[in-house]
Amino acid sequence: MATPDSLTLFTGLGLSENKARETLKNAALSTQLREAATQAQRTLGSAIDKATGTLLYGLASRLRDTRRLSFLVSYIANKKIHTELQLSAALEYVRSHPLDPIDTEDFEQECGVGVVVTPEQIEEAVEATINRHRSQLLVERYRFNMGLLMGEARAALRWADGKMIKHEVDMQVLHLLGPKMEADLEKKPKAAKARLEETDRKTAKVVENGENYKTPGYVTTPHTMDLLKQHLEITGGQVRTRFPPEPNGILHIGHAKAINFNFGYAKANNGICFLRFDDTNPEKEEAKFFTAIHDMVTWLGYTPYKVTYASDYFDQLYAWAVELIRRGQAYVCHQKVEELKGHNSLPSPWRERPIEESLLLFEAMRKGKFAEGEATLRMKLVMEDGKMDPVAYRVKYTPHHRTGDKWCIYPTYDYTHCLCDSIEHITHSLCTKEFQARRSSYFWLCNALDVYCPVQWEYGRLNLHYAVVSKRKILQLVAAGAVRDWDDPRLFTLTALRRRGFPPEAINNFCARVGVTVAQTTMEPHLLEACVRDVLNDTAPRAMAVLEPLQVAITNFPAPKPLDIQVPNFPADETKGFHQVPFASTIFIERTDFKEESEPGYKRLAMGQPVGLRHTGYVIELQRVVKGSSGCVECLEVTCRRADSGEKPKAFIHWVSQPLVCEIRLYERLFQHKNPEDPVEVPGGFLSDLNPASLQVVEGALVDCSVALAKPFDKFQFERLGYFSVDPDSQQGQLIFNRTVTLKEDPGKV
């Protein structure tokens, strides 16, 4: 058991107490980290700051050659290595130079030691980059691909701080273009878009046309050039991407970014994008997930070039696994699952077993001669994060939804992903940042088998505050009765957002505004809602609805029968047509639009204070308040006059007449805190953070008859209330509406 001094030492590096205790459970890691911290303290002669502590932890957890520990710690403690970028370069250097002695001059040059990137240099590099694209920037303004500017500036200053570069890009672009205008948020003009796509195509070709090997981190072999040549003969230089979801859950807002990036990048470069289901874990896969995923990709407006499955390639993947064993690059192992967990598990005692023995045992695995967990096939490599010999195949006796019981061994993601990309001749394997730790295995495996190797690019995940998106936690929410299912409109799954009424264009626009960065992005929900309003303002026709009805009798109604009122579908653009609603002597208004006695600042209906009725051309004036036995107001008696026959009223309110009765569901945030999964912010766990007011069901609401034929997912703006969408629970004669978002106006505005 660790001493209190060890715990204090590790927390002094900036580790949380939980992380420190977890580290202490790993003897090898804690020993290496203790040595690193002790040496750093001796060098510094004082406490270790958090930035240095983070680098020391990264060093201890990723360094395999312990002989180099003291050497690298001295560089960190003396601030010669002071960024994660430099540390990664240093670890790669010592890995690729195992022999003594280390050439310190070469090491320092490769790791950027002593390189100081000044703010002036960053300013000059960004200025040069912007000048190269100045004419295009002035045409496209904020619709220009700013990531291109970031990438070129980073290429010019390898060791510069990425945040400083981004800040400088933002500042110089703002200085050149000025603040964003309304036109900057509109869709890109076709001519400008065509020019951008041509630029993107040329950029893509730099990597695509036989030059994959020039990508940073790409590993070449004597066969690389021949394989790239064969690849180009097959693809003709066409850009190929893929969206590869696991069919074990519903897609969420983060997947929308991945869909947009993969399909969008291919489209922008006149390429193709596959939808490939990574169906390698039959225990967790269900048919409904395959259907839902395909539906959501289509809903977002993308059509896959081809729908494929990892299981399409099971025979080829198995044959390659046999070949990997023959080449001495894989072996059958009998360590238990719990022994393989973490990044510092004990080396396998079966790592050097004879090739023929592994071939026989792997065949025995395929024939079902091992129980689940008794044997795995492992690859002989060490990944960037220090994980050693990842598993390629494991035993599972669950029938597969497509191959039935043909197989009882299934490949893992680490084995399957890159090989399926190779089979489909993918040019750009676009992955979220957590897969950066698997990049080395991606390149290693393709090269170990002498097959074509695509390029892997990583980008940051997209998350939202006030949300959870993990499959396991959503299932807990369903089991607890907090939400109905995966498509409950309070969730941020794509099916839930569709049900709530979010247009796919709004989600795509949101992803475009967030952009593609390496850093993880966590956004506020109101930014997504702003994109929703932008789209619905132009696409959702207006209607009138009353949530809390109050009956109003017009005692001097000007006609013997109801009048037909023409209401514009879009008041700002009457060319988009009108719909007709009846206006009779009995109408209904919102109870909140009436007060028995007016108050300072109150502008709606009260005794002595008339209001206008929207779209009618009439003003009503209160004459009498009718109350029931309980003292509650039941009805108002009013008189009406033409709006142009007297003083203009202070306000115009919405109303309904001869309405339809409907149910309206009002949604608020599901969680009360920004980060419901953060144990510091929510010590009781995310289930304790539920907002009791996240759903309010309004029964007996009234809506005008113009929506009578509405179908599920049809969208409307209910005037003065917000945007609403027809819920699939609706039945004949009983419409149900979900409030998508409120209006832009302050809801407290009178």
Give residues with Cβ within 8 angstroms of 435, minimum separation 6.
456, 458
User: For the purposes of burial, counting CB atoms within 10 Å of the CB of 707, is it exposed (0-12), middle (13-18) or buried (19 or more)?
Assistant: buried
The residue annotated as part of the active site, out of 246, 548, 637, 677, is: 246
202 is catalytic: no
Question: In the chain, what are the helix, strand and coil shares in percent, each to the nearest 5?
Answer: 40, 20, 40
CA nearest 655: which of 587, 574, 600? 587
Query: What is the DSSP pairing of strand 660-667 with strand 695-703?
Result: antiparallel
User: For the purposes of burial, counting CB atoms within 10 Å of the CB of 167, is it exposed (0-12), middle (13-18) or buried (19 or more)?
Assistant: middle
What's 112-143 look like in SS3? Answer: CCCCCCCHHHHHHHHHHHHHHCHHHHHHHHHH
Longest dimension (CA), the chain: 104
State the residue for tokens 């430099």.
86
Alpha carbon dihedral 73, 75, 78, 79, in 10-degree steps, equals -110
The strand order across the sheet containing 736-741 reads: 542-543, 715-718, 722-726, 736-741, 660-667, 695-703, 545-546
Which structure tokens are listed for 226? 């021949």
Separation CA 306–CA 257 (nearest Å): 20
Contact 408, 373 (CB under 8 A): no
The residue annotated as part of the active site, out of 188, 205, 402, 471, is: 471
Give residues with Cβ within 8 angstroms of 455, minimum separation 6.
207, 212, 215, 218, 427, 428, 429
Separation CA 314–CA 713 (nearest Å): 40
Contact 85, 163 (CB under 8 A): no
The strand order across the sheet containing 549-554 reads: 586-590, 549-554, 633-642, 618-627, 611-613, 652-653
Which structure tokens are listed for 4? 């209190």
Collapsing DSSP to helix, strand or coil, 70 comes out as helix
CA nearest 653: which of 565, 589, 585, 562? 589
214 is catalytic: no
Which structure tokens are listed for 486? 């995966």
Backbone angles phi, psi at 395, to 5 degrees: -90, 130
Radius of gyration, alpha carbons of the chain? 32
The residue annotated as part of the active site, out of 21, 193, 461, 674, is: 461
Q: Report the DSSP beta bridge partners of residue 306.
A: 274
State the residue for tokens 């960037």.
384
Q: How far apart are the first and last CA of the chain?
A: 66
For CA atoms 115, 120, 122, 127, the dihedral sign is negative
641 is catalytic: no
List own/partner pairs for 738-747 with CB under 8 A and 24 or more apart. 738/489, 738/499, 738/500, 738/501, 738/664, 738/665, 738/667, 739/664, 739/665, 739/666, 739/667, 740/500, 740/501, 740/502, 740/532, 740/536, 740/715, 741/529, 741/532, 741/533, 741/536, 743/533, 743/717, 744/533
**Catalytic residue annotation:** 246, 461, 471
